[in-house]
Amino acid sequence: MSRISVSPTQRVDVAVLKRNLELWPVFREVLSGFSVLELETIKTPLNVRDSFRIAKHVIADKASIGYASMAAQLQRSEVKVLLAVDQTSQVVEELGRLLPELRQVVIAHGSIRADSLKGHLIKRRNHRVLCAWGQADADAYGSVIDEPVDVRAIGSLRNAHHLRQQTLNLDRSARYPLLFISQYSGKEEESSTDDSKRVQILRTLKSHVHKYCQERGCPLLVALRPPVSAPHAPSQRSDEVRHYEGLFSGVQLSFTDSMRAYSSYVASDESDVTIGVPSGALTESFARGNKVLMFRQDPATGGYYGFPLEGPWLLTEPTYEEFAERLDALRNTRREKWAAEWQSEREYMVANAESDRPITMVREMLERAIRGESL
C-alpha cells in the first residue's frame, strides 16, 4: 500500500529513481551540486497536496495511482529533467507519457545487443536521449526500429567512475597472467541436467580454462560476481568460491573481493588476459585497451552471449585446441600493440573508455535541461 504524506515538496532541478540511485553509486557523482528529488517506485507515497493532480492523471490519462503520484510530485517540485537507467524502462515510458515536456536523460545499463532490445526498448520521444556506451549500441537500435530513440554514444558511466577512483596507467604491466570473469548465478548453475544454451556455453568455457591452466601450469584469478543489479544472497560468495575450487581443482586459484567497488575492473587492468563470455566487464576491459578473450555463442543459435565485432578477442564456441592456440597468441602479444592496433574497434564499442569524460558529459546534459535548452 502507498504511504500517505502531507509534507511540502521543495523545488528541485533533477529527479532520479531511488532504486537507480541505490544500485548506481556513480549517480551521486553525476548529481553532485544539483538539487535532487528521489522518486520512490515501490510504495510510492501519496501526498494529499497532490490530490487534484493525482485524480486528473488517473481519470484523464488512465494512469495507475502510483504513476499518477510520481507525476504529480514531479510537477509540484518543478523538476526540469529525469535521470534514469534503461532497465527501468516501464517507469521511464510511463512518466514520459504523462509528462511529455519533461526532459529525460536515460543511461544504458550495459552494452546493447539487438536481440535484447525486444523487452527493454527505450522508445523515441521528444526531450529524451539515451546515453549509450558506443556507436555499436546506436547501430543495434537502428537495426530493430525505424525511428530509434536519440542515442548518444558517450561511454560507460561505471567505467568512468572506476577511472576517477583509480587512474589508468597507460604503461601498466600485468600482475596476474589470467583473469576469469565469473557468471555464477547460484547453485542451479551446478545442475547436471540443465541443458540450456547458457549453461552449455559456460560449462565448455570453464572446461577449456581448467584444462589450459593445468597444461600450462598457469595460476588463475577469478573475478567473483559483484552485487550490481541486486544485493547478494547471504551465501553467494561462499557458494561461488566453493563452486570454482571444485571446478578448477589442481589449479592455483585466487579470488577478487566482490564487495570492493570495481574489483573486477581493477583485476582486469592488472591481468595479462581476461577471459569470459561477452559481458559488460569484458567489453569495458577491451575498450580500455586490455587483452581479452571472449567466448561467444554461435549467432545461429541466438544472441544471449553475442558480440558484434570479429577479431582476435573473440572465439565462437571453439574447440579446446582453438581456444588454447588463441590464448597462447594473446599472451605472446604486447598489450600496447594490441591496444593501438584495435583502437577504432575499441572506441566503436565504448567511447571515452580511457577517461572519466562520460560523467562530465551527462552533467552537461543535465545542465542544459535545467536551463531549458535542448539536450
Q: How far apart (Å, rounded) are the C-alpha atoms in residues 333 and 327? A: 10
Give pLDDT tens digits for 243-295.
999 999 999 999 999 889 999 999 999 999 999 999 999 999 999 999 999 99
pLDDT band for position 375 (cuts 50, 70, 90): confident
pLDDT at 2: 53
pLDDT at 228: 66
Q: How far apart (Å, rounded) are the C-alpha atoms in residues 240 and 301? A: 28
Which residues constitute the domain of residue 245?
169-349
pLDDT at 137: 95
Give pLDDT tens digits for 286-311.
999 999 999 999 988 877 788 999 99
CB 122 within 8 A of CB 149: yes
Give pLDDT tens digits for 68-119.
999 999 999 999 999 999 999 999 999 999 999 999 999 999 999 887 787 6
Residue 1 reports pLDDT greater than 50: no
Same domain membership, residue 179 and residue 116: no
Residue 230 reports pLDDT greater than 60: no
Q: How far apart (Å, rounded) are the C-alpha atoms in residues 85 and 157? A: 11
Higher pLDDT, 235 or 355: 355
Determine the average pLDDT of the residues in 5-16. 81
pLDDT at 189: 66
**Is pTM beyond 0.85 here?**
yes
Most confident of 32-41, 86-95, 192-201, 344-353: 344-353
Same domain membership, residue 173 and residue 65: no
Which residues have C-beta within 8 Å of that of residue 303, sequence separation ≥ 6? 113, 114, 115, 116, 297
pLDDT at 45: 75
Rg from Cα positions in the chain: 23
Same domain membership, residue 141 and residue 237: no
CB 34 within 8 A of CB 168: no
Region label for 229, one of left (φ > 0), alpha (ψ between -120 and 50) or beta (otherwise)? alpha
Nine cell digits for residue 97: 507519457
Higher pLDDT, 116 or 357: 357
Strand partners, 152: 131
Strand partners, 84: 106
Same domain membership, residue 199 and residue 153: no
**Tell me, what CATH number does 129's domain have?**
3.40.50
Higher pLDDT, 6 or 92: 92
Same domain membership, residue 301 and residue 188: yes
Same domain membership, residue 129 and residue 193: no
Percent of the chain with pLDDT over 90: 75
Residue 315 neighbours by CB distance under 10 Å: 18
Residue 191 reports pLDDT greater than 80: no
Name the maximum alpha-carbon separation found in the chain.
72
**Tell me, what CATH number does 224's domain have?**
3.40.50.2000
Query: What is the average pLDDT value for the chain, to the nearest integer?
Result: 92
Same domain membership, residue 89 and residue 39: yes
pLDDT at 275: 98
pLDDT band for position 46 (cuts 50, 70, 90): confident
Same domain membership, residue 335 and residue 188: yes
Nine cell digits for residue 204: 565448455
Overall domain count for the chain: 2
Same domain membership, residue 366 and residue 333: no
Confirm whether 375 is domain-assigned.
no
